[in-house]
Every structure is written in C-alpha cells, then in structure tokens.
C-alpha cells in the first residue's frame, strides 16, 4: 500500500541534504567524508521515498544498490542513478574513519547533479502523488 505521508517525510529530508550539498563544494572547507555522507544520505532518503510512494516495503539498509534493485523490481527506470552507489561507503565506513588522500578527489559537481536529478524526480512524483 502506498505511503504518501512517509514519502513526503523522506523526500523532505532528502531535499535538505541535497541543499546542504550545494554549499559543500569547497573541498578545503568540507572534507570528502562530509560531502560524500550527504550525497549518500540524500540519495538513500529519496530512494526510500520513491519506494514508499510505490507502496513497496524497503529494507533497513544504507546500501544504495539494494534500494536501486528494489526500484528496478518495481518497474522503475533507475539507470541514471547507479553512479551513486560509489557513495555507499560514506554511509557508515567513512563516518568513522578517514577517507584518506584519494588519487582523485570526488567529482562534486557530477555527484551533486546526479543526486539533485534523483531528488527532483522523486519530489515531482510525490507532489503529484503518482508513481
């Protein structure tokens, strides 16, 4: 059964995380772990909102690949969001340990654009009450 109230709550939180990301583009001010955590959180909450809107139960997980599989199984086109899976480690692992010095820093512009597209897509679905 669709849970529009839960979907609205989750997408509202995802929007807040996404807005915070827009202010975190300076890697000298915001560490990769902080930025990556908010990308992961925004994506996770948006995907769970989408699943709630569809009436699909979702597992208590931070793993974006699992949530994307649930959405795929529900008949949703999620192909453009698979790149967000690279942020899985930021949900737990990099909250408690350093990301270190990566050879290449995160591409914050691409990450922000992708998670923003996801959040806006789900927000539009929630606003119209559709799937």
pLDDT in tens, 5-61: 999 999 999 999 999 999 999 988 998 889 999 999 999 999 999 999 999 988 889
CA distance 84 to 35: 13
Those residues whose C-beta lies under 8 Å from the C-beta of residue 52, and which sit 6 or more positions away, are 2, 3, 4, 6, 7, 10, 58
Instruction: Provide the whole-model pTM.
Output: 0.90
Q: Side-chain half-sphere of 92: how many Cα atoms within 13 Å? A: 4
Considering only residues 73 and 103, tell me which one the structure prediction assigns the higher pLDDT: 73
Those residues whose C-beta lies under 8 Å from the C-beta of residue 128, and which sit 6 or more positions away, are none
Q: What is the CATH number assigned to the segment(s) 4-128? A: 1.20.120.330
Mean pLDDT of the chain, nearest integer: 90
pLDDT of 79 reads: 97
Contact 87, 65 (CB under 8 A): no
Q: Domain extents for the chain?
A: 4-128
Contact 87, 43 (CB under 8 A): yes
pLDDT of 10 reads: 95
Task: Give 48's DSSP letter.
Answer: H
């Amino acid at each position: 059964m669709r849970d529009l109230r839960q979907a609205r709550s989750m997408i509202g939180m995802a929007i807040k995380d996404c807005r915070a990301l827009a202010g975190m583009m300076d890697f000298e001010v915001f560490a990769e772990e902080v930025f990556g955590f908010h990308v992961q959180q925004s994506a996770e909450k948006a995907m769970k909102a989408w699943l709630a809107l569809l009436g699909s139960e979702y597992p208590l997980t931070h793993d974006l690949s699992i949530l994307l599989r649930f959405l795929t199984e529900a008949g949703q086109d999620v192909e453009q969001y698979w790149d967000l899976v690279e942020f899985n480690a930021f949900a737990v692992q990099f909250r408690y340990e350093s990301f270190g010095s990566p050879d290449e820093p995160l591409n914050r512009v691409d990450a922000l654009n992708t998670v923003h597209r996801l959040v806006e897509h789900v927000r539009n679905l929630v606003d119209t009450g559709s799937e």
